Chains A and B, each alone.
With several copies, the nearest count.
Chain A
Amino acid sequence: MAEADRRLLVWTLASFHVAGLTVGFVLPAYASGGLSDVLPEFGTVLGFLGYAYLWVLSFLATRWVLTDEVLEATLVGAVRPVILRGSAGGGLVGLATLLGPLLLLTIQDLLSGPSNPAGIALILAIGSGIATVVGLAFGLVFTLLDLTAVRIAGRAVPDGAGTEQTKTEATVKSPADSESVGERR
């Protein structure tokens, strides 16, 4: 795939992960009746900042996952690399989602010297572990969703854009490709 198309994929998948996560949380939370109590206390601006923070993390992780090699491998049908890397990316996002706000909230305490360093370190380690595992799970789920979308899209596109064909065409056409794409944008 040309560079421009890879950038579109990274942008799309990163945005999809955050939007999908949000909708995937809001839907059952509202259906269970819990959301109506929690949401008003959350605050609009805080919600926006949280979403933006998650989006940046998701973008960085998606870009890290979707290297040229991983993308090429995925397009020829190898799912292992993208699943491994995607889960790892999810774990990193989970960890950063916990640590970022935590750091922001406790920065003053940390600078003035914590009262109980060992206890805090223990709690932090446990929290980080949980956040990473949760992130890993979500990373795996979203990687599988992405892969499914790629499969379905491959079938929806006309003239049977098969996987082998893609590989060879991408290799042969690459220079012409990026030229015309760049010209059009």
Chain B
Amino acid sequence: MAETLHVAVRTLHVLGMVVLLGGAGTVWYVARRDGRGGGSDTASSLATGYEWAFWGALGVMVVTGVGNLGALGAPGPETRWGTILLVKLALVAVFVLGSLVRTVAIARIDAEEGRPGPASVPFYRRAYGATTAALLVLVVLAEVLAHG
């Protein structure tokens, strides 16, 4: 039973990351592709959908992440493992704050322009490129913590 719960928590943690990283990567890819063509409708409508999904998935990540930490009986902060975890937690904190800015900016773009013009494409590209990069670093840190 505790086994099953633990596997479920881990699975949810991975699926949460799939939503966060897969979504950010997709929006980034579409914004890059559209930037060359001209239009930004696809990127914009995907971005708005992503922001909704993002905060749901982030909640799942936080709660399953902490749950994992508890179930593992994490080593202390003075160990090598603990240092990496501290780095990861700090990066998570920065990432969450940055994502708040990103979502608020997206909501502003949606509100101000009925249909976002091509002027917002560079912003999409930068914002989702940075989000993707930060999440990639977090995945690497998570793998190091899980198996390193």
Contacts and interface: CB of A to CB of B under 8 A. Distances in A.
B48 to A, nearest CB: 7
Secondary structure class of chain A's binding surface, majority of residues? helix
A1 B96 contact: no
A157 B75 contact: no
Contact of A173 (B5, B45, B105, B114): B114
B58 A19 contact: yes
A44 interface: yes
B97 A145 contact: yes
Interface in B89-107: 89-90, 92-93, 96-97, 99-107
B133 interface: no
Interface stretch (B20-28, B60-68, B140-148): B60-68
A15 B56 contact: yes
Interface residues of B, number: 58
Secondary structure class of chain B's binding surface, majority of residues? helix
A125 interface: no
Contacts of A39: 66, 69-70, 74
B9 interface: yes
Interface string B105-148: 11111111011000110110001000000000000000000000
Given A22-B62, A47-B63, A149-B100, A4 B70 contact: no
The 7 lowest CB-CB distance pairs between A and B, nearest first, are: A15-B55, A153-B105, A39-B70, A153-B104, A1-B111, A5-B111, A180-B114
Interface of A: 1-2, 4-5, 8-9, 11-13, 15-16, 18-20, 22-24, 26-27, 30-33, 35-36, 39-40, 42-45, 47-48, 51, 55, 145-146, 149-150, 152-154, 156-159, 161, 165-166, 169-170, 173, 176-177, 179-181, 183-185
Given A48-B63, A177-B111, A184-B48, 9 more contacts: A12-B107, A20-B93, A26-B69, A27-B86, A27-B90, A35-B74, A47-B63, A150-B104, A170-B111
